Amino acid sequence: MDWDDAPGEGIDVIDALVERFPAPADAVKAVQAGERVEWTGEIDGSTMRHRVLLADDGTAAVEQAVFVGGVLEEILLCAWHQAGEQRDLLGAGVLAALDDLHTAVRPVLEAEVRKVRPDYTAAVLHSFREEPEPNGPGMPMFGWRLLHPVGPDTSWEDTRDTAAWNTSQTMSDWLGYYDHVPELQPTALVRLLRQHDVPAVLCADCGKPITDRHPRWASSWVTPDSERGPMCGDPEARPASAKPLLGTLTDLEFGAPHRPA
């Protein structure tokens, strides 16, 4: 059963699941009957997923997954294009880099939770890869996940690790919640990915993720930022040394191309 046709933006996962199934054990029975129990949504961060899984031996678990987003998703998309014929080799490097990133960020998230729960220990997440989704850019989906075993007394709250949940917000660069974490900055992300042979590139001038191997922009450096594309920076933000007297345009309206750092 797909009772979750639209992503639940701003809807709490626990509220959404309890509304249909009072406890995970109830959801397991639904899955055993052939239904699908899955919540997908985001709250001020990248996409998250809660779903009930059954193993071949009959044991059940709730998957808590967080997908990459924000600037990291843009960097990976550009690197995926940049890899060209070597794309099949890209996945292992990305997964290794994501594991390293989690190792660096997990203590930060754990310390935040310990301010209100001193005995809290953040769960260790594992990177994962899935096939490209329909209507996406063609790149595999990457993220981190944790499996929570389901028993007779398991509650939905037992299936949500707080630090894992907050990992979603580390992917939201526009919020600025984690600008103080060096490992999450674009230059650090690119450096980490390159250590694992992922061909990530930033523009030397504007700092945007770029690739020159997108099929519609062959040999032109372009970013997936829809406001920029092949243009580096904002031409309107570049003051002209002298304004024309009769016309309204200057050569600056053409902007400038990206160039790799």
Q: Are the C-beta atoms of 208 and 91 separated by less than 8 Å? A: no
Pair (121, 223) in one structural domain: no
Neighbours of 220 (CB within 10 A): 15
Q: pLDDT of the chain along its 261 residues, tens only?
A: 333 444 444 557 778 788 889 999 999 999 999 999 999 988 888 999 999 999 989 899 999 999 999 999 999 999 999 998 888 889 999 999 999 999 999 999 999 999 999 999 999 999 999 999 998 899 999 999 999 999 999 999 999 999 999 999 999 876 678 889 999 999 999 999 999 999 999 999 889 999 999 999 988 999 998 677 788 876 555 665 678 888 887 777 777 889 998
Pair (112, 239) in one structural domain: no
Q: Which residues are paired to 47 by β-bridges?
A: none
Pair (190, 223) in one structural domain: no
Neighbours of 74 (CB within 10 A): 20
**Angle subtended by helix axes 70-83 and 90-114, to nearest 10:** 170
User: Which pLDDT does position 256 carry in this prediction?
Assistant: 86
Pair (159, 228) in one structural domain: no
In the chain, which ranges are continuous DSSP H helix? 13-20, 24-32, 70-83, 90-114, 162-170, 186-195
How many structural domains is the chain composed of?
2
Residue 135 resides in a domain:
yes
Pair (120, 236) in one structural domain: no
Domain termination site, one of 195, 211, 238: 195
Residue type, 153: D
User: Which pLDDT does position 36 carry in this prediction?
Assistant: 93
User: Which pLDDT does position 11 carry in this prediction?
Assistant: 59
Domain termination site, one of 142, 160, 195: 195
Residue 174 resides in a domain:
yes
Q: What angle do CA 213, 219, 223 make, to 5 degrees?
A: 60
User: Which pLDDT does position 235 carry in this prediction?
Assistant: 53
Query: Using the 8-state DSSP alphabet, how is residue 132 labeled?
Result: P
Instruction: List, in order, residues 6 or more apart from 66 with CB less than 8 Å away.
Output: 46, 47, 48, 125, 143, 144, 145, 164, 165, 167, 168, 171
Pair (35, 71) in one structural domain: yes
Residue 158 resides in a domain:
yes
User: What share of residues in the chain are helix, strand, coil (percent, to 5)?
Assistant: 35, 15, 45
Instruction: Look up the domain containing 235 and give its range.
Output: 219-261
Pair (133, 261) in one structural domain: no
Q: Are the C-beta atoms of 28 and 60 separated by less than 8 Å? A: yes
User: Which pLDDT does position 19 carry in this prediction?
Assistant: 85
Residue 3 resides in a domain:
no
Pair (38, 126) in one structural domain: yes
Residue 203 resides in a domain:
no
User: Which pLDDT does position 247 carry in this prediction?
Assistant: 86
User: Which pLDDT does position 1 carry in this prediction?
Assistant: 31
- Encode 134-193 in three state secondary structure: CCCCCCCEEEEEEEEECCCCCCCHHHCCHHHHHHHHHCCCCCCCCCCCHHHCHHHHHHHH
Query: Side by side, which strands form the sheet with 48-54?
Result: 8-9, 38-42, 48-54, 60-67, 141-149, 126-130
What's the CA gap between 57 and 244, in Å, rounded?
Answer: 76
